[in-house]
Amino acid sequence: MARTVVPEAEALIDHPIPVLDKGFVRMVDYMGGDERIVQSARVSYGAGTKTVREDRGLIHYLMRNWHTSPFEQVQLTFHTKMPIFIARQWVRHRTARLNEISGRYSVMKDEFYVPNPAQIRFQSKNNKQGRSDETLDFDEAMAVIQQFEEEQKAIYRNYESLLEKNVARELARVNLPLSLYTEWYWQIDLHNLFHFIRLRLDPHAQYEIRVFAEALAQCAKAVAPLAYEAFEEHILGSITFSRSELEALARMLRGEESQLEGRNATIFAEKMAKLQSSVAGEPAAEPSLPTPG
């Protein structure tokens, strides 16, 4: 069988998508696309690709009903560069293969992440893991940035001085900070990439990983546009209700109280606000739900 070639994906191959101040996402290879998904799904009865309309219907059926294995037939390989603190969140997604640059073998580059002033914000009162929408004033933000830069320069100078003394690289790197940039090759199947994107595009994922998720989503959409359309329709743009929430919703439709209390009531109210905003065509207010990582 000839290799699947998707023109939109070919246009992205080896073209870095800039992310943050010094990072990037570069798709270096892919295997399969929408065609591979439908061929895999239809193999049990020997039918291959049909019309685009039929293929779209099948892909939506698979996504809607959580038939995930056909999406795993599509593989994407990326070369990415990100701050170490984002890399440590990233590797919580374990169903992938990666090779990272090693400070034991290589001299680490003098490249550190520095947030822009708009991202210098106060701690959120609702989400213990994240920042709020409230920014510091410009002068205060620039003072924070200056402090970041001065400390990064000092630490890197110390790192260089250890290397000049021929201290082993694996020891000289020990005090390098989380803001240092690292790089790796990362290969993942489409199903697990969708899982990554769903979690990391959440409004309460850390900003610095959301922007990487946006770049990865751009690549996924290029490789398998019908699958990405189905992902947006049935996963990314959907709202999931628990059993008790569905019972509460049924009571509300009967004009009764939801009977949910405490945190459960808060989460349910946030989901209902998102639903009402969607119906009204307005952006939903951001909920205060924590995000893993």
Q: Which residues are catalytic?
A: 200
| Beta bridge partner(s), residue 229 | none
Q: Kindly state the tokens that stand for 31.
A: 């295997």
Q: How many CA atoms lie within 13 A of 149 on its CB side?
A: 9
251: CB partners within 8 A, 6+ apart: 257, 258, 259
DSSP classification of residue 40: H
Other beta carbons within 10 angstroms of residue 129's beta carbon come to: 13
Q: How many CA atoms lie within 13 A of 69 on its CB side?
A: 5
Residue 283's SS3 state is coil
Backbone angles phi, psi at 100, to 5 degrees: -110, 150
